[in-house]
Amino acid sequence: MQIPNLLEAKKRSNQEVFVKTNEYIVKEDLKKLGLGKTYFVKTYGCQMNEHDGENIKAILEDMSFTEIDDMEKADIILLNTCAIRENAHNKVFGYLGRVKHLKEERPDVIAGLCGCMAQEEVVVHEIMQKHQYLDFVFGTHNIHELPSILNNVIETKSQQIQVYSKEGDIIENIPVKRASKYKAWVNIMYGCDKFCTYCIVPYTRGKQRSRKHEDILAEVNCLVKNGYQEVTLLGQNVNAYGKDLKEDYKMENLLEDVAKTGIKRVRFVTSHPWDFTDEMIDVIARYHNIMPYIHLPLQSGSSRILKLMGRKYSKESYLALAHKIKEKIPNCSLTTDIIVGFPGETEQDFQETLSVVNELKYDSAFTFIFSPRVGTPAASMEDNVSLETKEERLQRLNQLVNQYALEANQKYQDQIVPVLLEDVSEKNETMLMGYTDTMKLVNVKADLQYLGSIVNVKITDIKTWSMDGEMVDK
Ligand code: SAH
Ligand code: SF4
Ligand code: F3S
């Protein structure tokens, strides 16, 4: 039994991080454990967590379990959770109600919880007290231990909690079951050391650890060989890539080398404005296969609030960076994240946020009401803003964001743009869906045979969050 500890999670050690290439093993007797049995994994949260979900599925398949998309019928249920805001928690605890009910009907079902919520001390205590029906909990640092944890559940028939607060080494040999045959997520770093005052991620994901560029490039080369069209390089703060490594090899070098593999499309998330260098902008502008799409979280337009958030940039320096990006990268689309109702945010502060939105006219934005996270500095800051005011600000912000999103899309009317067709459209089964290089969602009239191809599409109809189009040629 290993329970997470908030104070431990806060610490940053100078201990060297090792790269381990044979840490993940499935013992011979566990390889057949899941024969004839099924699993269901439900993932919440960011792309990194989605990608962890892909690893978890592959590990379960290494033990011969088969994926099933109906939770009610599965032999193993695993919730891969997110802790970023209160509502993420609520969703998971809501879902756990269904799991509990199912376990009452079918006691042989094995149910577990992993991901960022598992890293939270308060959550694990709650699970131990109120959710005894959960069979196991493991964290973000020990996904590779899933086979032995599962085996312990079966052998001991007691609740297994195995969560480490100190991040471990980089483990390179974890298998992956990718959700798509055409686009892939590739981790380039783990953890985050920025400690923005509102954010739980540095506690749930540990200190920043960059993967070796050789390992990243080997993975991308392998994807190219297997016909993948697109990679998205993943990290909480990708622009800081390499700063924790001894050699002088930074994000701009990695972007350039990934572009040179010849993969058709390179994307990356998320960029912290603080570490965005001119060299990076130059590389993005120079390579046609690095997509002209930048997600650049603003969080707030008020320099006073940004300081309280610990973001280390001001409204002015953010605007200067965004304008530089727009000037140097032709047709670049720009999206952002914004938090309203940070403790003590005044109407004036909020107006500063609106003024940035008005100036940059984002292609789209994810907007959130500040949610206090236990253990973070902002959670104990005095907050005199009522929930009503916060909700009203969110609505005003969303109205503006939607207006600019629609305007940005309207520029595409009748244009011919490249789209990577990745799936059948959710809205209309006779259409395919995909994204433009600028990350616009398009539903396309096209034949199934073009799935997985980048095709030219004429945009025929514009909506706020998507467009319709017809394929004109390949
Ligand atoms: N690493 C990214 C952000 C990852 S979290 C970055 O630094 O930009 C995704 C978004 O969730 C954040 O950009 C922020 O807007 C939002 N978020 C994080 N913590 C939050 C909190 N406590 N309350 C509300 N929104 C939050
Ligand atoms: Fe959270 Fe800030 Fe790190 Fe992003 S950079 S994950 S917001 S602490
Ligand atoms: Fe959520 Fe963890 Fe990602 S808190 S946003 S799943 S890093």
3-class state of residue 187 by DSSP = strand
Q: Please report the pLDDT score of residue 14 as a whole number.
A: 87
User: What's the pLDDT band for 146 if we cut at 50, 70, 90?
Assistant: very high
User: What's the pLDDT band for 474 if we cut at 50, 70, 90?
Assistant: low
419: part of which helix (H) or strand (E)?
Answer: strand 416-424
Residue 283 predicted with pLDDT over 90: yes
Give the contacts of 223 (CB within 8 A, at least 6 positions apart). Answer: 184, 186, 231, 263
The counts of H helices and E strands in the chain are 13, 21
> What's the pLDDT tens digit per position in 37-89?
999 999 999 999 999 999 999 999 999 999 999 999 999 999 999 999 999 99
- Whether the CB of 117 sits within 6 Å of ligand 3: no
Query: Ligand 3 centroid to 187 CA: how many Å?
Result: 14
- Whether the CB of 192 sits within 6 Å of ligand 3: no
Which residue's alpha carbon is nearest to atom 21 within ligand 1?
A: 371
Residue 214 predicted with pLDDT over 70: yes
Q: What tokens appear for 362 in the block?
A: 């984002």
Residue 1 predicted with pLDDT over 70: yes
User: What's the pLDDT band for 168 if we cut at 50, 70, 90?
Assistant: confident
Neighbour count for residue 418 (Cβ, 10 Å): 15
Q: What is the mean pLDDT of residues 424-428?
A: 89
Asked if 130 and 100 count as a contact pair (C-beta separation under 8 A), the reply is no
pTM of the model: 0.97
Domains of the chain with bracketed CATH: 6-162 (3.40.50.12160), 180-410 (3.80.30.20), 416-471 (2.40.50.140)
Residue 473 predicted with pLDDT over 80: no
d(CA 446, CA 457): 9
What are the backbone angles phi and psi of residue 349, rounded to the nearest 5°? -60, -45
How far does CA 378 lie from the centroid of its chain? 22
> What's the pLDDT tens digit per position in 323-367?
999 999 999 999 999 999 999 999 999 999 999 999 999 999 999
Atom number, ligand 2, closest to the C-alpha of residue 311: 2
Q: What is the mean pLDDT of residues 229-254?
A: 96
In this structure, which amino acid lies at residue 20?
K
- Whether the CB of 45 sits within 6 Å of ligand 2: no
When the pLDDT of each residue in the chain is averaged and rounded to a whole number, the result is 96
Q: What is the mean pLDDT of residues 220-248?
A: 96
Residue 31 predicted with pLDDT over 90: yes
Atom number, ligand 1, closest to the C-alpha of residue 376: 22
Shortest-distance ligand to the CA of residue 84? 3
Strand-pair category, 333-340 with 364-369: parallel
Atom number, ligand 3, closest to the C-alpha of residue 140: 2
Atom number, ligand 2, closest to the C-alpha of residue 192: 3
Give the percent of the chain with pLDDT over 90.
Answer: 96
In this structure, which amino acid lies at residue 273?
P
Residue 390 predicted with pLDDT over 70: yes
User: What's the pLDDT band for 297 if we cut at 50, 70, 90?
Assistant: very high
Residue 122 predicted with pLDDT over 90: yes
Q: What tokens appear for 33 in the block?
A: 């454990």
